[in-house]
Structure formats: structure tokens, C-alpha cells
Structure 1
Amino acid sequence: MISIGPLVMAADRFAAILGIGAFLLVASVLAERREPRLGSWAMLAVVTGVAAARMGHVIEHAGSFAMEPLRAFAFWQGGFSFTWSVPVLAMVSLLRLRDTSARAWAVAPLAAGLLVWSTTLHLAEATAAPPRPLPALILPQMAGAPIDLGSTGGRPRMLNLWATWCPPCRREMPLLQEVARTTPGVDFLFVNQGEDRARIAAYLAQAGLNLPHVVLDSTSAVSRHFASRGLPATFFFDADGRMRHLHVGEVSREFLAGYLHDMAPAP
């Protein structure tokens, strides 16, 4: 996870954005000084490459998108398979850069983009804080007895940090409710951050949501425990209480399925 002021995003997305920026910058400089065709080639390469990566992700998870085909355009959820971009970039280069000299110059922006992308990913991984344990907190629920967040009871556990004012939180809630109902082996805890019981109840009633384990964290103690700066943030713990995944931002159906599968105990 990368935090820049109020902006919070996953490290892989941040690395991809910086890599694309470096690619376009070097291509623009070379277009002005050496090879004018590199400018239009670079823009076309980015647009078609990103579209191909998204299409590849959709094809690889066709079952997840079958009932919600329009979700293929929900780029903000993440989900790009950049191996699908390689043949597209090769075709664009062959069509737009027809001579050997232009293709030779194209190597420089490609190398710059890959270098910035890989370096950013490496630095993010090297400087990432170790996974934190479940917080030793007992918090009230909207319904039922207070719950001990630090005790899994030998079951995998998902903690979703959310708030009623958060648009991506609201968008992902119906999916999380559906998956919680169909995944009996995992405890789904929806830990509201900083809001009172009346506001939460009004929102849930208005949205027609019936979530299991709606937890009240009026002081945002859980966010402070995890040093989480953005919402929604969803933490996945295995049955032994080890954090396996952290997803910042709206989670998609295919990512959620992958996280839950990885948390499941070995047969």
C-alpha cells in the first residue's frame, strides 16, 4: 500500500502508473529530438495495452463477469493481466514504426517504463511493514454481544473497514453481503469506522442490507491499529490469525474469491 497525502492505493497500481508515466515521458522527449513518430506510437501503445490487459483479465475470469458484463468497464476495481498486452504492443509497434531506426529508438521508452515499474515494486516490497496481528479489542455489535476481534475461534476471518459516507464502501457492500451468506466457513466482520449506531442503522435500512457482524468502532481504533489511511480496507486472516491479504479500495468478485480461497485451510 502506498500513501501520498490523502491518496492511498495498492503498490502494484502505483508502480504501473509510474511505469506508464516514465514510458510516455521518454517517448515524448525522443519524439521531439529524434523520432517524431514515437509520440503517437506511445499514446496508442498505452491505450491499447491497458485495454488488452483489462480484456485479458475479464477473459481469465469470465465466470465472474458473466452475470455482470458491464463490470468489465469498472477499471477502478483493478484487475489487469499485462501478458495480454505483449502481442498488442508488438502489433502496434510493427504498424506505427515501420523502419528499423524508429523501432530501435522505441526500445528506450520501453526500457524506462519497465525499469521504473520494477524498481517501484521492489522498493514497495522492501519497505512494506510486516503484517500486523488482529487487534486485541472487544467492540460492540449492532446486534448481539460484543465481539473479540483478536480471537478467531479457529476460523478464517475477514475484517472490512468501512463508513456510510464512503462511496466505494457502499458499492462493494452488496457483493460482500452475498459472499458472506454463501461462505459459511469464514467470519465476515464489517467494522464501521467513527460513526454512531443511529447513522449506521439508518444507512443499512435505506440500503436494504442485512450484514452479519456489523461492529461499531466509534473511535476508529482498528484503523489506527493497522495504520490504515483509506476506506474501504479489507483484511483477510487465516484460522491461525495470520494476515494473508490486504485489499485497499473496492474489492471485485474475482479478487474476493481468490482471497477467500487462499485463506481456506488445507484439506
Structure 2
Amino acid sequence: MLSFSLGPLSLSIGHLLLITAFALALLVGGVLGRRYQLPVAGSVADIFLATMICARLGFVIGYFEHYRHDLFGILDIRDGGFDVIWGLAGAVGFTAFLLWRRKLVRRPLAIASITGLLFWGGTAGTIALIEQQARGIPPVTLTALNGDTIAVNQIAQGQPMVINLWATWCPPCIREMPVLDVAQNRYPGVTFVFANQREQAETIRAFLDKQNLKLNNLYRDSQADLARAVGSQGLPTTLFYNAKGQLMDTHMGELSNATLAKGLKKIIPGQP
């Protein structure tokens, strides 16, 4: 499963695990804080904030060329650009700093922080192991706007492939389309596939005309079979497959040039 849906709210599994780990650390910190009569929850929140800042900073530094001409984009975290290693380093470093400076809360804060970290690491690792067993391209058939059908695994013909699940009513899908439109021409060695979810051909054509888009490999996933097969509960969702048909990365939410480059780096040999 790539994402989780609760009513109109959809979250990637990665984000859901992170929020759950933070909530668990807050809960443990609150319980221990009452026991020791000490304010612990605030310190846990400080650690979470420092983690997010470091993770974002690390990602921006790594892909700064894509933000150079759009400095406002650095603050636009809707693209989901975070670096896990930088985030972990920030969490460990700032936790160590707080444990050193705030001696009174040292024990409960350490317990709360370790609880959240172990939960996140354990669940994320388990999910990663499970996903490794099902990383191939799903045996799903898509329909072209003219009515022709094709199996997803026959589209790329041995090339790396990027599959974008989208819909015309989805605002982040609309915002990211220019990025993907440019990319499909910039990377001729990658097959970009646009799988529209549950919409009629007339609706899609009208959208393309209005947005002045020419999308290659545009298909209808009329019953959302592909979305179900990959475990996507929200849009947009982008899947990155290497030339062997193995799923190497996923991204739920709006793509920026930087987050697209991150995914392409995992499927294009030698991509800087």
C-alpha cells in the first residue's frame, strides 16, 4: 500500500508513519511528564520540528539546482521534498542537545524519543521488506482515448518508466502537469505514462485543450485497476520503474522539478 485515505484526506504511508511516531512520542512524553511533574511534550515537539527542518534543508541542498530560479519553492513543502538521512541526523543531534541542556527532563524525554524512533524505524523497515516482494509492474490493462487497450508492462519496451496517476479535478495534478510535460521531452530514454483515473475521454480531451498540453502515452484507468494494484488511495501518485520493471520509488502528492529529479535518479543509470 502506497497511501492511506481517511475521508477527503489522503496521506502517503511514509507520512502516516511519521505522524503516528510523533503522536506516540507525544503520548509517552505526556504520560511521563505527568508522572515526573515535568513538561516533556514541548521538547518532543521541538525535536519533531528540528527533524523536519533538517530533512527539508538536506533535500534542498542536494537538489538546489532545481530551486535556484524559484527560491520560494524552497518553502513550498507541498512537493514532499525531504531527505531521510538529514532528518535522522537532525533528530539525533537535537535530541542529544536537549538531553544535555534540559537535565530535569532527560529520562522521560529520552524514553519518549526512543519510543517514537523505534516505532518509525520498525514499521518503515517492515513495510519496505514487504514491498520488495511485490515491486513488478502490475498485470493491468489501460485504455487509450481512441479505445485501444494495452497492458502496462508492454508500454515501456525495456525503458525506465514513470507512471503518473491523475485526474482533471485534482488541483495538485494540474499544478504538476507542466513539470511532467517538459520532462517527457527532456528525457527521451524514459517512458512517461499518464494514467487518468475514472474519467471519460471527452473530459480528458477538453482538459488537454484548455491546459495546452500534449501528453505522450495517455491512457484511461477507467476502473482504477492500476491504482488498486499499486495500493494508491490518493492523487496524484507517481511511480518510478527501472528498465527491468522494478518499482524503485513512489511519490504521492504534487511533483516539483526537484522531487521528479529524485525519482529519476533511482531509475536512470548514471543520472547525477
Common fold by TM > 0.5: yes
Instruction: Give the aligned partner of residue 109 of structure 2.
Output: 106
The superposition leaves residues 19-78 of structure 1 with CA deviations (integer Å, 9 ceiling, x where unpaired) of 111121122222222142323322333223322332232223222221222222233332
The answer (yes or no) to whether the contact 2:138–2:226 under 8 Å persists in 1 is: no
Aligned residue pairs total 263
Matched with 1:115 is 118
Shift of residue 188, structure 1, vs aligned partner = 0.9
For residues 80-107 of structure 1, give each alpha carbon's deviation from its aligned partner in whole angstroms, at most 9, with x where no partner exists: 3312343334444444x1x3x4323321
Q: Residue 228 of structure 1 aligns with which residue?
A: 232
What are the within-5 Å matches in structure 2 for residues 1-267 of structure 1? 1-3=2-4, 5-6=6-7, 8-80=10-82, 81-82=86-87, 83-95=89-101, 97=102, 99=103, 101-128=104-131, 130-135=134-139, 137=141, 139-141=143-145, 148-151=151-154, 152-265=156-269
Is the contact between residue 134 and residue 150 of structure 1 (CA under 8 Å) also seen in structure 2?
yes
Contact kept? 1:52, 1:88, Cα under 8 Å: no
Which amino acid in structure 2 is aligned with residue 59 of structure 1? I
Displacement after TM superposition at 1:4 (Å): 5.0
Residues 229 and 28 (structure 1), Cα distance of their counterparts in 2 relative to 1, 3 Å cut: same
Change (3 A) 1:61 1:78: same
TM-score normalised by structure 2 residue count: 0.83
In the TM superposition, residue 8 of structure 1 has moved relative to its aligned partner by: 4.4
Q: How many angstroms apart in 2 are the aligned matches of 1:126 and 1:238? A: 18
Deviation at 1:207, TM superposition (A): 2.2
Q: What SS does the aligned partner of 1:263 have?
A: coil
Partners of 2:158 and 2:116 lie apart in 1 by 45
Flag the 1:19–1:226 CA change in 2: closer, same or farther, 3 A. closer
Q: Which secondary structure state, in structure 1, belongs to the residue aligned with residue 61 of structure 2?
A: helix
Inter-CA distance 53–245: structure 2 relative to 1 (3 Å threshold): closer
1 CA distance for matches of 2:239 and 2:51?
31
Q: TM-score, normalised by structure 1?
A: 0.84
Deviation at 1:184, TM superposition (A): 1.0
Would you say the 8 A contact 2:142–2:220 is kept in 1? no
Alpha-carbon distance between aligned partners in 2 of 1:255 and 1:176, rounded to the nearest angstrom: 11
Letter in 1 for 2:47: A
Q: Classify 1:116/1:37 alpha carbon distance in 2 versus 1 (closer, same or farther; 3 Å).
A: same
| Structure 2 CA distance for aligned equivalents of residues 72 and 32 of structure 1 | 39
Aligned in 2, Cα 1:108/1:191: closer, same or farther, shift over 3 Å? same
Rate the CA distance shift 1:94–1:264 in 2: closer, same or farther, 3 A.
same
Q: Which has the larger radius of gyration?
A: 1
Structure 1 residues 19 and 132, CA, compared in 2 at 3 Å: closer, same or farther? same
CA distance change for structure 1 residues 51 and 159 in 2, over 3 Å: closer, same or farther? same
Conserved in 2, the CA contact under 8 Å of 1:230 and 1:248? Answer: yes
Aligned CA distance change for structure 1 residues 20 and 170 (closer, same or farther; 3 Å) = same
Q: Output one character per residue of 1:99-142: Cα deviation in whole Å (capped at 9) or x when no partner.
A: 3x432332111111112112221332344461242435362247
Identity, % of aligned positions: 29
- Which blocks of at least 5 consecutive residues in structure 1 are unaligned? none
